[in-house]
Structure 1
Amino acid sequence: MPRNVELKARGRDLARAERVAERLSGGAGRALTQTDTFLRAPRGRLKLRDFGDGRGELIFYERPDSEGPKLSHYSISPTADPAGLVAVLSQALGVQGVVKKERRLYMVGQTRVHLDRVEGLGDFLELEVVLSEQQSPEDGERVARRLMEELGVQEEDLVAGAYLDLLLAGGSPT
C-alpha cells in the first residue's frame, strides 16, 4: 500500500504560499475542483472524489488524526463514473459528509503541495510527501518540515484530522 507523510495547516497567507510554491515547483500549478463524499467505513476513511469533469477516484486511507506530519497509508482507484459510484456506495454504506474545495496543486520534488479553499472553512495548505519504499516516515517528516518553513507554516497553524472533521465540528475561524 502506498505511503506518504501528510500535514494540514490553516492558510494564513495563501498568496505568499502560492508565490513560494510556484518558485519551488517551477510552474503555476494546476487548478482542481473537488467534491469529496466521505462514506461510512469500518476502519480508516473512504471517500469518493469527483473532479466535476466525469473523472473521479475512490480513495481509502488510514492515518492518525493528529497535528503535524503523520504517516498515511492509502489506496486509490480511478473511476469514469463518480456520480454513479457515489450513489451506489452511499446506499450501501451511508454518507458521513461532503467536502467541496478549490485546490491548486504543485509538485515540489516528491511532495504534492495543495493550496485549498474549502467551502465553509476557508483557506488551507496541505503537504503530502510521497515516500519511496526505501524512505522512512522520519525522512518524509524532514521533507515536510523543510517545506513548512519555506511556505511560512507555523506550528500553531497545524490542524488535526480531515476537512470533514472540521466541518462536522462546526467549521473553523477563517
Structure 2
Amino acid sequence: YKKLSDEKLFNLVFRSNGKRTENPFRFIVNRGFGRPRDVIQYLNLIKRTFPNEGFINYDMAKKVQSDYCSWFYNELQNEISILNRHKSIARVIDAIKKNGKVVFSYKDIDTIIKDSPDEFIDIIDLKSELKSLFTLGAIGNYERKKGHKSPIIEYSYRDGAYNPDFSKNFLVHPALKVYLSL
C-alpha cells in the first residue's frame, strides 16, 4: 500500500457496488456528520462485521447502520447521564420523538410539552436542554436559504458553535433519527 497514491488507496478501500453509485465513505461521514470518533466507530463496526473483507462498500456500511445508531444513542446517554439535568434532557428527547419530525422548531417541542404537561413534568428548562443536546451533537441548527440548493446545517462539534440559534429550525442527528424511528 505504501507505493499507492492516496487516491488509488482510497478507491481500493472504498468501493462502489456495481450498479450503485453511492460512495460508502460519504455515507459513513454523513451519518457521523464528520465527527472523527463517529467515523472510527463506524469503520470498526464494519471491520468486526466483515472481518475477511479487504474493502468497504455501500452495502456493508448500510448493514452496520443500526449497530452504529445504537452505539451513538448509548454514547449520548452516557454523556447525558453525567449532566445535572439528565432526566430533563432525556424527557426532551422523548418530546422530540413524540413530535415525530427530523426537522423541528423550538415552538414545535414547546407545544408538545405544553399539550402533555403530566407526561413531560420532568423538563426543567426547554431552551437549556435543547442547548445541551446541541452541544452534545444530538441536534444541529437547520436553515433553508432562498437560492441555495442544500440547507445550511450547523453542529457545535463541527462548526464551533456553542449556542444554538432558536430562531432557526433544528435537525436531529441521522444516527439519533434512525434510533428514534423518525
TM-score of the superposed pair, with normalisation by structure 2: 0.24
Q: Give the number of the structure whose alpha-carbon radius of gyration is greater.
A: 2
TM-score of the superposed pair, with normalisation by structure 1: 0.24
Where relative contact order (Cα < 8 A, 6+ residues apart) is larger, the structure is: 1
Higher helix share: 2
Higher strand share: 1
